[in-house]
Amino acid sequence: MSSEFTKLIELIISASLINNFVFTRFLGLCIFFGVSKKMETAVGMSITFTAVMMVSAALSWVVFNWLLVPLEITFLEIIVFIGIIAGLVQLSDTIMRKVSPGLYYKLGIYLALISTNCIILAVPLISAGEKYSFIQSLAFGLGSGLGFALALIIMASIREKLELADVPAPFKGLPMAFVITGLIALAFTGFSGLITL
């Protein structure tokens, strides 16, 4: 039991630090560069993301293992997963609007952005590929969400300072953000070998 538990902790650390989605798997870059300009939006996005990621990991696991595998139609995984995510986003949008308008007012805009995001789709795809158990998929979703949140918050704090920096004209804006991300990615390679799964 306890070894099972350490394995889960390892999975979370591995998904958030060693195989960080942004810095070593290069996923979610559009959102990463899009919303990392301000700390406030970065935090809002991180919260929404982690929540949706865990729920979609759980739902996709159930559908994949109880429906697609028995029917031998696993090649349809892309279509099914994107359907689940789109439906989930729409559902949480509606529920949030009814149950908690204040929260909806704050985070609703990020929800709309999520359905066309590759990270959310990558989590169930990788979980299915690695044949994770239900709890492992949840842990993987949580770890990935935390890793993305970490990346967004680091980047947002740097970019807020960058506004005042004197950058050469062709590098202004995105190119500079890319170079900075490269430097952070370099730092994150230091985490490889932290634990061996």
Partner 1 sequence: MSNQSSINLKDLFLNGIVKENTIFKLALSLCPSIAVTNNLKNGVFMGVAVLFVQVMVNLTISLMRNIIHPKVRLPIFMLVISGWVTVTQLMMAAFVPDVYSKVGLYIALIVAFASILARAEMFASKNSIIPSAVDGLGMGVGFLFALSVISFFRELVGKGSLWGHAIINTKPLLIMILPAGGFFAVGILMALFNWINARYAAKAAHASH
One-letter amino acid of 159: R
Selection from 135, 98, 192 nearest residue 8 by Cα: 135
Q: How far is the CB of 49 from partner 1 (least distance, A)?
A: 14
The length of the chain, given as a count of residues: 197
Query: Which residue, 9 or 194, is less far from partner 1 as judged by CB?
Result: 194
Query: Which residue, 62 or 76, is less far from partner 1 as judged by CB?
Result: 76
Contact, 184 vs 162, CB < 8 A? no
- The CA distance from 94 to 113, in Å, is 15
Residues 8-67 that bind partner 1 (CB under 8 A): 23-30, 33
For residue 177, what are the contacts with CB-CB under 8 A and spacing of at least 6? 33, 36, 155, 159, 162
Q: Which of 5, 105, 134, 171 binds partner 1 (CB under 8 A)?
A: 171
- The CA distance from 134 to 70, in Å, is 16
Q: Print the binding letters for residues 101-130 with partner 1: x by CB under 8 A, - otherwise.
A: ---------------xxx-xxx--xx--x-
Query: Which residue, 77 or 93, is less far from partner 1 as judged by CB?
Result: 77
**189 binds partner 1, rule: CB under 8 A:** yes
Q: How far is the CB of 2 from partner 1 (least distance, A)?
A: 32
Contact, 188 vs 22, CB < 8 A? no
Dihedrals φ, ψ of 100, to 5°? -140, 80
**145 binds partner 1, rule: CB under 8 A:** no
Site residues, partner 1 (CB under 8 A): 23-30, 33, 75-79, 82-83, 86, 116-118, 120-122, 125-126, 129, 168-172, 174-179, 181-183, 185-186, 189
